[in-house]
């Protein structure tokens, strides 16, 4: 198996990204929303590629000293292979030089696998958004990780990556 490569997501990747969206989310973003997100200011979108195939992606919105994980998804066939871990670790390292100190996200309350991933990275639940996901009616758990710009957090990322 070829090594996982994480690079910038570009417009030519949108069909592959949309296919993952449809496979993984109850209320997937449309191709237009994906295109608009990719072109929006203060966004950072990356893809994970293995054997020439897009197997995951991550999107961030950057606001002052905070970053918001807009989306993170892995192709069904690549679940459990470290794609989401690699994407999240790369993103958390990359935002520090941009002035980011804290990172937030929402995750479906029933998505325990994703919550375990985020907890491993130091994200902690701070609240709920009731009925946040309109298609399923599921609540969102709001999670934050603070001080990603510290040497101790960089060491945590190194430990995660080594595992």
* Sequence spans of domains, the chain: 5-162
Question: pLDDT per residue over 130-146, tens digit each?
Answer: 999 888 889 999 999 99
Name the class of domain 5-162.
Answer: alpha beta
pLDDT digits over 43-75, tens only? 999 999 999 999 999 999 999 999 999 999 999
Q: In sequence order, what DSSP letters do the residues of 33-85 get, joined into one string?
A: HHHHHHHSTTEEEEEEEETTEEEEEEEEEEETTEEEEEEEEE-GGGTTTTHHH
Is pLDDT above 80 for 1? no
Model-level pTM greater than 0.85?
Answer: yes
- Relative to beta strand 102-108, strand 124-129 is unpaired
pLDDT over 70, % of the chain: 99
């Amino acid at each position: 198996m070829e090594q996982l490569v994480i690079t910038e997501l570009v417009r030519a990747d949108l069909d592959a990204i949309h296919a993952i969206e449809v496979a993984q989310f109850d209320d997937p973003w449309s191709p237009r929303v994906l295109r608009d997100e990719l072109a929006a200011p203060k966004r950072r979108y990356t893809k994970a590629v293995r054997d020439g195939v897009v197997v995951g992606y991550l999107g961030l919105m950057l606001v002052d000293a905070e970053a918001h994980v807009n989306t993170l998804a892995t192709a069904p066939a690549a679940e459990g292979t470290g794609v989401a871990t690699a994407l999240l670790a790369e993103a958390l390292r990359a935002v520090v030089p941009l002035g980011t100190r804290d990172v937030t996200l929402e995750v479906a309350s029933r998505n325990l696998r994703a919550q375990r991933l985020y907890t491993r990275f130091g994200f902690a639940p701070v609240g709920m958004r009731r009925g946040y996901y309109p298609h399923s009616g599921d609540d969102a758990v709001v999670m934050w990780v603070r001080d990603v710009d510290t040497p101790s957090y960089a060491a945590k990322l190194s430990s995660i990556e080594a595992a």
